[in-house]
Amino acid sequence: MDYPSHQLRSPSQQTPILYWAIAVSYMLLGFSAFSARLPMALAVVGLVLTTFSIGNLFSGRRAGFYSGLVLLTIPALFLFTRIILGDAIFVLFMALAFRMFLGAYLLLSMRENSSESARGKAFGAMMGFYVFLALAVMTKGLIGLVFPFLIIGIFLAISHDLSFIKKMHLGLGTVVFLALAAPWHIAVGMRNPGFYYNYFVNEHILRALNRHWPPDFLSIPLWRYWMAQIVGLFPWLMFAPMVIKYWPSNYRVMNRDEKLLLFAAIWMGTVFLFFSISGRLEYYAMPAYPGFALMVGLALARASEQRTADDLAPAASATLTVGSLVIVGVMMILASQTGPHASAAALNPHTRNAFFLRSTTSRRR
């Protein structure tokens, strides 16, 4: 059977990539917790390398290195990828799609290179963009299509490059996308009456509005969502104000650093804002983390080039001190609002279930 199932019946809402990845891992390494989690670990490695590649593409190895380092050491990414979820794989495919798009954009827009070789490379990159879009949709659903096009559209509009849309080969790209993403959806729809309504309406539109059925999760309050991000992005969040120094002053004329900062900010901001107005859990913000890492990584790279280690040490110490106080304050607020276990479970909805089961077992004993 070529789609995820339970007792020969499709769950009618779960996209298959995570299931397929774990199945391959089981076949190669046997049935174990390690083999079940291996796809998520490999996805994180790939995501860090992709983030490095994007930073290196626009701003050099130093910016790529710092961006990858920031992403690798974000506590939230470590916590959320210890759970068997497809989000890390989805974020990897989305980041790879952006890497393909930005490669084509750099060839055809910023360099104004019209050579046959450049056009050929850009065409290949754009086809890769649609391939990774299809894989993102097969991992997480239509959000894998909505986020990339929304982010790219905003970026092209602000940078006054909307004419680049004509160079994206939308017609052929749509064919490539459908050739990869449509067969599974059609096959599952043919075997499961009501799949299309459940998948497209219930699991996408109504879930975003927090009105889907059955209500298999409770959307967390907005304040907890944002506090979870503050805690989860520590200590790098404290370096975010450095980005202001390198922010573009003229969106019509930007260098590579400024283009990267703008794209990364839109990437991060779109995801954070989307889940601020729709149904949300803490780990839903994971697609924003590479954008955040690129912003901070570029700022750190440029600061390290302009200042000595002795100059940076006082700022780093002050940042860590303030950040530690913020973390303690957030945890105290969480504990006072929702009970003694809330602070430990704040970053992980599945951890809350573990605390509940443990407390229930203790009472029975």
The per-residue pLDDT for range 250-297, each reduced to its tens digit, is 888 888 999 999 999 999 999 999 988 887 888 889 999 999 999 999
- How much is the pTM? 0.82
- Determine the Cα–Cα distance for residues 41 and 83; give it in Å rounded to an integer: 10
For tokens 């839109």, what's the residue? 266
Cβ atoms 294, 287 nearer than 8 A = no
- Determine the Cα–Cα distance for residues 343 and 352; give it in Å rounded to an integer: 10
Query: Does residue 172 sit within a domain?
Result: yes
Query: Does residue 325 sit within a domain?
Result: no
pLDDT band per the 50, 70, 90 thresholds, residue 359: very low
Query: Does residue 286 sit within a domain?
Result: yes
Cβ atoms 28, 35 nearer than 8 A = yes
- Determine the Cα–Cα distance for residues 251 and 246; give it in Å rounded to an integer: 13
> What is the model's pLDDT at position 341?
42
> What is the model's pLDDT at position 195?
79
Query: Does residue 8 sit within a domain?
Result: no
Query: Does residue 149 sit within a domain?
Result: yes
Q: Which domain holds residue 53?
A: 17-306
- Determine the Cα–Cα distance for residues 54 and 100; give it in Å rounded to an integer: 9
Count structural domains, the chain.
1
DSSP 235-272: TGGGGGGGGGGG--S-TTS--HHHHHHHHHHHHHHHHH
Query: Does residue 201 sit within a domain?
Result: yes
- Determine the Cα–Cα distance for residues 249 and 244; give it in Å rounded to an integer: 10
Query: Does residue 135 sit within a domain?
Result: yes
Query: Does residue 64 sit within a domain?
Result: yes
Q: What Å distances lie between residue 258 and 68, 70, 253, 363, CA to CA? A: 18, 19, 9, 57
